Structure 1
Amino acid sequence: MPLSRRLFAIGLALAASTPFMSFAAAQETVTLWSWRTEDQAAMGRIFAAFEAANPDIKVDLQFTPDADYQNRLATALRGGKGPDIAQLKAYGELQPLVEAGYLEPLNDSVPAIAEMPETATGGVISVADGKFYGVPYSVPVLGVFYNTALFEANGVAVPTTYAEFLAACEKLKAAGITPIASGGAQGSAWALEIGVGMIGPTIYGADFYGEMMSGKATFEDPRFIATLKRFAELKPYYSDGFAGIDYTTSTQQFINGQAAMFFGGSWENGSFKAQNPDLKFSVFAFPGDAATDKPLVAAFSDGSYGLVADSEKKEAATKVLNFIASPEFAQLFADELGWPAARPDVTSEDPVLKAMIAMQGNTTPYLSLVGYRWQTPTASSVIQAEVIDMVEGNITPEKLAADVNAAVSTWFKPKP
């Protein structure tokens, strides 16, 4: 069914379950803040379906660039002038807002959160009381985006082992094509951390996260060091001038067909299509040493939407949050943005999204984000500060691993 018809049908279905209300009744406006400026048009269409079914509520979407969002939100909340609903970062970045009393728990008012998998809800739980403080919207997976036209033109098949991956890189490089668009300069080293997080599961396996959390393993474990080494040994296949290439430049190399592959997360699907509708691409799980039908991939809760405690429109805002927790929202989110939704009951005809949904079937937590961004210094801050030097050979993987371990050891307490 075309998306426009699906939106109309969902709006009608929602409207059918909504009690009749006089058109003379006053419309209440609920403000919702988000950092995803690139999603503004899509989110407008999604909430138009909600408004069609709930004509008494207007959702006022307000977008602030990610770099400025957290500061704007924190300042507004401190002054009692925040939104009714706020898009929230996950895991450790959520906790300060909960501890300050800026958010309402949602266990009773939005019961559908409990229907979502732990991969989604793990990012919205308060460590203090174990309650949900946000409605998750997506569980991204990390994988290798690839230009299907370049692969086909150069006789390259999707690799199922790491040896095949290296052979594919060699073949593409010999043809004058950059095998992997990659860069993390100018403050964008988070994109390189994603590469490390993507490779890791194929080396350290599904049990490693639990071992790290219980103290049986640390970042100096040979398996994590092997992950860093593998990421570094791919340098010959990364973009020329790797140390000076930033995330935006590397994405443009892939989008414009100058590079055959890109290490990234699910959010890239919609972004790539929006920037180049003619780009032919798909995604595969980074392969390990042995072929498998269900490769292990890293996944995490991207974020959530929470109810601001000072909101004067909690009843209407709670209706909006229940919509965000619904199967209808999940399907619209997947259709509009091309991301795997937080709920598993989503279908898609988009081959890229279908591949990512399949990848959700065998996941392990994105280690540095899920486990080690709860206090400072975070694992991410050290990885991002030193990963370029490691790839360039200025420091060893062992040194980076030791630095990460020393940083998180100042606050991380294992739970045997």
Structure 2
Amino acid sequence: MKKLMAAMLAGVLLAAFSPVFANGANEGSGEKVTLTMGSWRTDDVAQITALLKEYKKVKPNVTIEFKPTINVDYNATLRLQLESGTGPDLMYARSYATGAKLLMDGYFADVSDIPGLKSNFTAGNRAPWTAADGRNFAVPFNAIVQVVYYNKDIFKKAGVAVPQTWEDFLAACDKLKKAGITPIANGLADEWDINECFMMGILPGFVGGAEGRRAYESGKVPLNDAKMVSAFQAMADVAKYCPNGFAALTYNDSIALFATGQAAMWVDGSWNAGAFKDVNFEWGTFVPPAPAGKKAAVCFHPDTGMAYNKASKHVQECKDFLAWLCTVQGATVCAEFMPTGFFPMINAPIKLKDAHANEILALTTGKLQDARFVWERFMDGDPSGYVLMNQGVIAVMKGEKTAKQAADALAAGVAKWYKP
């Protein structure tokens, strides 16, 4: 009888622990599975493929194929894929309303129970991928910083210091222009970048970071108040420091102007830090400065979450990958292989190899922080706050509207659908 009881006890223990072993970090005897990963980052094939090969060392039976879509087509393409049943197993998730809608429509799975999500990420870092009902629809994957790239050699030769206030910034632009140098490489032809990178890069400093933005969202402050007008005016003021014919200048044109030393500065995102590794001049970055008397603030934007398809045939393998992203080990690997200028959001110190990436990340220390202004509450209605702001920025830079008119149009358009 004792032998029988011992055998039964051993069987119970084996059954109890077998799931742990089945999902162990180095388990390699399972069925071979291939997952697909959707993304809007077509430039990152080499880096993300290398990252996914590292994951294969953890789960040898799982292969993840990276299948990105052109950025501007991603939202529409992904929805069509999900609606037709051909969506990827794993996918990059937009933050806030755009991503949350795919959860509410039944396409993204609820990832709230992924191990490590709540213990290794702060509530603030989970919030961009948390729906109104409290469900998490993606694991935080990376964040980006809106910065001003500057040519150190040009600054030194022209006797220009890194500006500490917005007024200093305009004075630096004026000094550079008088020296025959194009101060700013930005243009308008692609439209999105002058809004997302420039306008939303300066807004935290003009309105007071996240707290200031929430005052607009709560209705305590109107969208055409003096601070918003001053931000539109700031965009009008920089127009004369952009290249000749800047209205027809594309995003790639701007990159080329800065990379070839034909412009002293370029206002963009940290995701392009790797594009300048082979330039023949010294460069650095600084945060778009706030007006004199206001606190320094930075747009540290929650850019990418990782979601999985509720209809995937390999749900457990998808959940295993997301759980790995929620570990310090996974975040460390991601930091090593992720493209330069994308930063892990896990609540742990992660060392970055690239000197410029470390410099950019250091810029966020000691400053007010916020996401892009319209992302959380003003993005999803009709007319979208994003579109209204974009139109306003372009109009003031072309001299077609005053800053007050642009702010009034933003406030009036959003008021048609937004209720605090």
Give the shorter-chain TM-score range. Answer: 0.7 to 0.9
Deviation at 1:300?
2.1
Equivalences for residues 203-222 of structure 1 within 5 A: 203-206=206-209, 207-222=211-226
* Distance in structure 2 (CA, Å) of the matches to 1:265 and 1:31: 27
* Distance in structure 1 (CA, Å) of the matches to 2:282 and 2:376: 32
* Distance in structure 1 (CA, Å) of the matches to 2:353 and 2:66: 28
Deviation at 1:49?
0.9
Matched, 1:78 2:78: no
Q: What's the counterpart of residue 271 of structure 1? A: 275
Q: What's the counterpart of residue 11 of structure 1? A: none
* Distance in structure 2 (CA, Å) of the matches to 1:405 and 1:291: 26
Q: Which residue type is aligned with residue 283 of structure 1?
A: T
Equivalences for residues 291-330 of structure 1 within 5 A: 295-330=296-331
Q: Normalising to structure 1: TM-score of the pair?
A: 0.88
Q: What's the counterpart of residue 365 of structure 1? A: 371
CA contact (8 A) 2:204 2:370 kept: yes
CA contact (8 A) 2:302 2:371 kept: no
Secondary structure of residue in 2 paired with 1:413: coil
* Distance in structure 2 (CA, Å) of the matches to 1:85 and 1:382: 32
Deviation by residue 1:256-283 (Cα, 9 ceiling, x = unmatched): 211111111221212343xx45453221
The more displaced of 361-370 and 224-233 is 361-370
Q: What's the counterpart of residue 64 of structure 2? A: 59
Equivalences for residues 348-363 of structure 1 within 5 A: 348-361=352-365, 362=367, 363=369
* Distance in structure 1 (CA, Å) of the matches to 2:100 and 2:117: 22
Deviation at 1:108?
0.7
Q: What's the counterpart of residue 32 of structure 2? A: 27
Q: Unpaired runs of 5+ in structure 2?
A: 1-23
Secondary structure of residue in 1 paired with 2:299: strand
CA contact (8 A) 1:183 1:192 kept: no
Deviation by residue 1:315-338 (Cα, 9 ceiling, x = unmatched): 111111122233334334333312
* Distance in structure 1 (CA, Å) of the matches to 2:268 and 2:196: 10
Deviation at 1:122?
2.3
The more displaced of 345-354 and 207-216 is 345-354
Deviation at 1:366?
2.1
Over 3 Å counting, the alpha-carbon distance change for 1:20 and 1:389 in structure 2 is closer
Q: 2:145 aligns with which of 124, 141, 146?
A: 141
* Distance in structure 2 (CA, Å) of the matches to 1:135 and 1:113: 10
Q: What's the counterpart of residue 45 of structure 1? A: 50
Deviation by residue 1:330-365 (Cα, 9 ceiling, x = unmatched): 334333312222225222253322232223333123
* Distance in structure 1 (CA, Å) of the matches to 2:123 and 2:236: 32
Secondary structure of residue in 2 paired with 1:59: strand
* Distance in structure 2 (CA, Å) of the matches to 1:68 and 1:289: 36
| Rg larger in structure | 2
Q: What's the counterpart of residue 18 of structure 1? A: 25
CA contact (8 A) 2:27 2:59 kept: no
Q: Which residue type is aligned with residue 418 of structure 2?
A: F
Deviation by residue 1:282-338 (Cα, 9 ceiling, x = unmatched): 21112223489x821122211211111101101111111122233334334333312
* Distance in structure 2 (CA, Å) of the matches to 1:79 and 1:289: 49
Secondary structure of residue in 2 paired with 1:342: coil
CA contact (8 A) 1:184 1:246 kept: yes
Q: Which residue type is aligned with residue 387 of structure 1?
A: V
Q: Give the number of aligned pairs.
A: 391
* Distance in structure 2 (CA, Å) of the matches to 1:117 and 1:38: 29
Deviation by residue 1:364-403 (Cα, 9 ceiling, x = unmatched): 2321223311333211111222322211211111111111
Q: What's the counterpart of residue 288 of structure 2? A: 286
Q: What's the counterpart of residue 10 of structure 1? A: none
Secondary structure of residue in 1 paired with 2:143: coil
Q: Unpaired runs of 5+ in structure 1?
A: 1-16
Q: Which residue type is aligned with residue 257 of structure 1?
A: G
* Distance in structure 1 (CA, Å) of the matches to 2:146 and 2:227: 19
Over 3 Å counting, the alpha-carbon distance change for 1:193 and 1:66 in structure 2 is closer
Q: What's the counterpart of residue 13 of structure 1? A: none
Q: What's the counterpart of residue 390 of structure 1? A: 396
* Distance in structure 1 (CA, Å) of the matches to 2:36 and 2:229: 46
Deviation at 1:410?
2.0
Secondary structure of residue in 2 paired with 1:330: helix
CA RMSD of aligned residues (A): 2.1
Query: Alignment identity in percent?
Result: 27
Q: What's the counterpart of residue 21 of structure 2? A: none
